Chain A
Amino acid sequence: MKEHILILGGGVIGLASAFSLIRRGFEVTILEKNTCGGQASGAAAGMLAPYSEIMEDPDPFFTFCLDSLRMFRDWQQEIKKASGVDFEYTESGSIYGVYHDSDILSLETRIAWQKTFGSEAQILDGSRLKSLEPAISDEVVAAIYSNEESHVFAPDYVHALKVACEKLGVNIYENLGDIKVESWQSAPILQSPSGQTFTGDKLVICSGAWSQELETIFHIRIPVFPIRGQICAYELGDEQVNHILTSSQGYLVPKSNGTLVNGASEDIAGFSTTVTEKGISRLVNWNKRMLPFLSNKSPFHTWAGLRPATQDGFPLLGSLEGAPHIIFATGHYRNGILLSPKTGETVADLISGIPLDPGTRLAFQPERFN
């Protein structure tokens, strides 16, 4: 008989894990308290940009992100094929712009270590930058151009992933409310408030920002905090932007539907996903220093999502030491979309008995905060 895997949480990580597991022949059930992809996943700007995200030096998290970026091209094709649903995936490249000559040393330091990972990134001066991205501000004196970095349209990607899971036979239960883990020492038993009971052989925890609630169930510390990320979007109209544009203050991502996504203002607001005046105005005040044409435009849409941040910045990914049938895959902070293929495949590996490499295992071990 097929092993039955329960997945708690239908965000991008839960869906990606389900997609990987069902293709390896497991029976898979996703339990989602609201709707799949309704939180951080659907709110994401969809950047696939590990070089822009990890600046100072490479660590196990960076290499995990980079592996995932390099899986994405095939991964997104497989999802499109399995779902029959199209979504934007653009290998646009990215530009990390700086405003002072004194930034160039740090760009050189970054490029130097990035090259050892096969990056073909280069530093561009003002004039070369202009030819690549004509709309960019003259204030930007130099930039790192990373041709590898890409982006997806996150809401469509997550939707396609869900459709792919359904078509391949994943059981998806939504709007269950607060699902309780009734028992897990042996075969996991979960129950919804309405009394629906779910049993399986193994359990994957993909609860994102809500993971800390499980501390008392599993008797481990789960320092995952919700960080609100506020984003706004513009209609591009006649303006053209070719690349992901980032700086120390935020990012701008041009989408194929003619919009420009500008993020993110992070703050600490518990589980609130309200958009604030302060959060959006700092984006609006900053972004014209990257794209001057934005000073004549106003965002047409604003929204916020909760990113599951961890105490040390690394996700919790791995099986519990005393209970190998309980697998954690949570705490991906603002990299859940990027990390979805690598995490999905890793979860499927773990369940198939293939361990993580020792360095990654130690860095991401779920019990490491005890």
Chain B
Amino acid sequence: MNKRNLIIAGKELSSRFFLGTGRYPNPYVQNEAIRVSETAVLTFAIRRANLESPGEDAILQHLDADHSFTYLPNTSGAKTADEAVRIARLAKASGLSDWIKVEISSNEKTLLPDPIETLKATEILVNEGFIVLPYTSDDPILCKKLEQAGASAVMPGGSPIGTGLGILNPYNLSLIIEEAEVPIIVDAGLGSAMDVTQAMELGADGVLMNTPVAKAKDPVKMASAMKLAIEAGRLSYEAGRIPKKRYATASSGLPSSISY
């Protein structure tokens, strides 16, 4: 079975699972969860990282030095495009990565992305040579505009960060995927393997998660479950599901196969 790998900005990734590094109960569980997830891309909040010496950062220091991850630093906490751009530059200057997840929220309760500031920051950072992956609301027009602004992948949320509410608007998400000419990564709000499989069956190119793994009762087992869900959902999407019908169709005893 030929597995088609995800390519973002010319880089081929061995996994469609993007994993966050926050909120794990301890470094042991964090490392094990990352290992079994087989993720290729790790995301972390720039503001919390020790950019002066990332190898000494409270969280990043634990990562397996022999494994080369693609780092996707995020601008979480930024309320405006200016703030996001400022910390994105710090991350790039640290030499960790030129990939950036634009994340701009202005409401402390929902942490929903600010669409106007997100588009603004994406335009600026693309012009400065970043590989930009904006986290955005699941609006098809906005996602298209982010793509046109030069985003290397677009990351619509399923529901607000950390809620585990799953994909609240599968219709919008399917439109976004249908229209997209860059990879679509579903980011935020997923809760369980079911949500992940749904995202992948809708045709998403990958998913980004943190809380549903890190705060599970067994984060390591959940990392494994999510990995399998991504694979199952992707295969199901590629295989092509049957159309939904209102009434039953017999699955055996077809007239053509009956010999008289």
Interface residues of A (CB under 8 A from B): 56-57, 98-106, 108-109, 112, 225, 227, 248-250, 265-268, 281-282, 285-286, 289, 307, 309-313, 333, 368-369
Contacts and interface: CB of A to CB of B under 8 A. Distances in A.
B219 A311 contact: yes
Interface stretch (B77-85, B186-194, B226-234): B77-85
Nearest to B55: A282
A144 to B, nearest CB: 14
A105 B77 contact: yes
Given A98-B47, A100-B47, A101-B83, A369 B218 contact: yes
Interface in B204-245: 216-220
A141 B138 CA distance: 34
Given A248-B58, A250-B58, A286-B56, A225 B217 contact: no
Contact of A267 (B27, B105, B109): B27
B58 A249 contact: yes
Contact of A102 (B23, B75, B216, B219): B75
A105 B108 contact: yes
29 contacts: A98-B47, A100-B47, A100-B83, A101-B86, A102-B75, A102-B79, A102-B87, A103-B47, A104-B79, A109-B108, A109-B109, A112-B108, A112-B109, A225-B26, A250-B58, A266-B58, A267-B62, A285-B56, A286-B56, A309-B25, A309-B26, A310-B25, A311-B25, A311-B219, A311-B220, A312-B25, A333-B25, A333-B26, A369-B218
A229 to B, nearest CB: 10
Interface string B90-123: 1000000000000001101101000000000000
B5 interface: no
Contacts, number: 106
Contact of A227 (B26, B49, B84): B26
A289 B53 CA distance: 12
Contacts of B62: 266-268
Contacts of B218: 311-312, 369
Contacts of A56: 23, 162
Contacts of B87: 100, 102
Interface residues of B, number: 40
Contacts of A289: 52
Contact of A225 (B28, B47, B79): B28
Nearest to A266: B27
Interface string B9-26: 000000000000001011
A333 B27 CA distance: 12
Nearest to B77: A102
B217 A312 contact: yes
Contact of A309 (B29, B47, B56): B29
A106 B25 CA distance: 19
Contacts of B105: 105
B28 A368 contact: no
Of A101, A105, A281, A309, most buried by chain B (CB within 10 Å of CB) is A105
B29 A311 contact: yes
Nearest to B62: A267
B67 to A, nearest CB: 15
B172 interface: no
A161 B56 CA distance: 36
B174 interface: no
Of A102, A109, A266, most buried by chain B (CB within 10 Å of CB) is A102
Contact of B79 (A98, A105, A312): A105
Nearest to B216: A312
A285 B53 contact: yes
B28 A102 contact: no
Contacts of B23: 56
Of B26, B48, B52, most buried by chain A (CB within 10 Å of CB) is B26
A286 B50 contact: yes
B179 interface: no
A266 B59 CA distance: 9
Contacts of A105: 77-79, 105-106, 108
B130 to A, nearest CB: 16
B26 A266 contact: yes
Given A102-B77, A112-B108, A312-B25, A281 B47 contact: no
Interface in B121-146: none
Contacts of A249: 50, 57-58
Contacts of B28: 225, 227, 268, 309
A108 B108 contact: yes
Given A102-B75, A106-B77, A281-B56, A248 B48 contact: yes
Of B56, B75, B109, most buried by chain A (CB within 10 Å of CB) is B56
Contacts of B148: none
Contacts of A368: 217
A268 B46 CA distance: 24
A78 to B, nearest CB: 32
